[in-house]
Amino acid sequence: MINYLDSMVKNPKVFFDYDISKECSMGVGGRVSAFISADNFRELSEVYLLAAKNKTRFIIMGAGTNIVFNGGFLDMIVVKLGKGFSGIGIREAEIEAGAGLSLQKFVVEAARNGFDLSTLAGIPGTLGGAVCGNSGDICRSVVSIDCMTEKGGREAVELSREDFGYRHLNINGIKAILSIRFRAPKGDRDVLFNKVRDRIKQKKAAQPTQEKSAGCFFKNPYGHSAGELIQACGFKGFKYGEAGVSKKHANFIINLGRATAEDIYVLSRIIYDKVYSHYNIKLENEVRMIGF
Ligand SMILES: Cc1cc2nc3c(=O)[nH]c(=O)nc-3n(C[C@H](O)[C@H](O)[C@H](O)COP(=O)(O)OP(=O)(O)OC[C@H]3O[C@@H](n4cnc5c(N)ncnc54)[C@H](O)[C@@H]3O)c2cc1C
């Protein structure tokens, strides 16, 4: 196993041979070599550099709401940003917040201080995950990020919208986003709270928010809605093993109870094949599939 982490075993935030399904909203996945919660930059870079030196795969995760790990054993270290990365600082024209902060807490705190980030309301996960996947087009408000580089150092990077694509951030050499600086239009607090509430209501009406999922499974192909294509192929309510296609929104694959990562994966391939054969369109995963 990964003996080089032995010196950190005293640390209660290091767990070996860890069941990663507990950390993912889909509730599936197997075991990973180690799962670590890092509370400060020193801990994070120490683990990263040890992993790099020993050629062990290192992955950073947020709240696990857009990620599915293979159901077998994965020799990798998964690091989650702990409480030390969830601070928030409000200035006159800008907000700076830790990448581990919940996106929903951030949206509410922003509204309380008169910043309109209501388009992000109702999206689960952390700020780091949202910036990494450009969730809800968060790129419209991001000014810069503080990050850990490939060499384990710390660097601030100014960002513009061009640095983001559809559900991704196009910057090479970044191993972890640590904090983010935002700018957003200002408005009246009560108006903003109403906008946030409306947005959450809309999401609840359109998405199976009470089910175990990882959000929209596939990206929308250019000029199409993935959900509409999947629905048109008759998949709403379709099941494979304990994985199913939501009856509410066809682009949501849900864990019906005891789904395995393989159930989710196979169902996604069945959908992919049928959409391809009917429409000649290759769906691309929006959910990050690790170890498949
Ligand atoms: C019910 C439901 C509804 C959803 N609705 C939406 C929606 O409307 N719009 C939308 O865009 N998404 C939606 N999602 C998907 C998901 O919530 C977002 O993609 C979210 O931003 C992911 O954040 P996370 O912290 O959970 O990231 P994770 O799932 O933990 O990770 C996702 C990716 O980000 C990387 N990552 C995470 N944190 C960091 C970091 N600090 N530094 C570097 N990389 C990092 C991980 O390595 C991984 O590749 C929904 C999900 C669910 C379950």
Place of tokens 């062990």: 56
- Taking alpha carbons only, the member of 285, 200, 202, 217 closest to residue 252 is 217
- The confidence score (pLDDT) of residue 13 equals 83
Q: Which atom of ligand 1 is nearest to the CA of 85?
A: 41
- The confidence score (pLDDT) of residue 2 equals 64
- Domain 86-194+198-202 class? alpha beta
Look up residue 188 and give its amino acid.
D
- Kindly report the protein residue whose alpha carbon is nearest to atom 33 of ligand 1: 129
- Kindly report the protein residue whose alpha carbon is nearest to atom 50 of ligand 1: 215
- Kindly report the protein residue whose alpha carbon is nearest to atom 49 of ligand 1: 288
Note whether 3-84 and 86-194+198-202 share their fold: no
- CATH 3.40.50.300 applies to domain 3-84: no
**pTM to 2 decimal places:** 0.96
- Kindly report the protein residue whose alpha carbon is nearest to atom 2 of ligand 1: 215
Q: Does ligand 1 have an atom closer than 6 angstroms to the CB of 38?
A: no
Map out the domains of the chain as residue ranges: 3-84, 86-194+198-202, 208-290
- The confidence score (pLDDT) of residue 123 equals 97
208-290: CATH topology is 3.90.78
Q: Which atom of ligand 1 is nearest to the CA of 209?
A: 1
Q: Does ligand 1 have an atom closer than 6 angstroms to the CB of 192?
A: no
- The confidence score (pLDDT) of residue 32 equals 97
Q: Does ligand 1 have an atom closer than 6 angstroms to the CB of 138?
A: no
Taking the C-alpha atoms of residue 119 and residue 109, their distance in angstroms, rounded to an integer, is: 14
Q: Tens-of-pLDDT digits for all 292 residues of the chain? A: 566 666 665 566 889 999 999 999 999 999 999 999 999 999 999 999 999 999 999 999 999 999 999 999 999 999 999 999 999 999 989 999 999 999 999 999 999 999 999 999 999 999 999 999 999 999 999 999 999 999 999 999 999 999 999 999 999 999 999 999 999 999 999 999 999 999 999 999 999 999 999 999 999 999 999 999 999 999 999 999 999 999 999 999 999 999 999 999 999 999 999 999 999 999 999 999 999 9
- Answer yes or no: are the C-beta atoms of 89 and 96 closer than 8 Å: yes
Q: Does ligand 1 have an atom closer than 6 angstroms to the CB of 101?
A: no
Cβ neighbors of 240 (< 8 A, separation 6 or more) are 263, 266, 267, 270
Q: Does ligand 1 have an atom closer than 6 angstroms to the CB of 207?
A: yes
Q: Does ligand 1 have an atom closer than 6 angstroms to the CB of 121?
A: no
Cβ neighbors of 196 (< 8 A, separation 6 or more) are 107, 108, 111, 118, 121
Q: Does ligand 1 have an atom closer than 6 angstroms to the CB of 244?
A: no
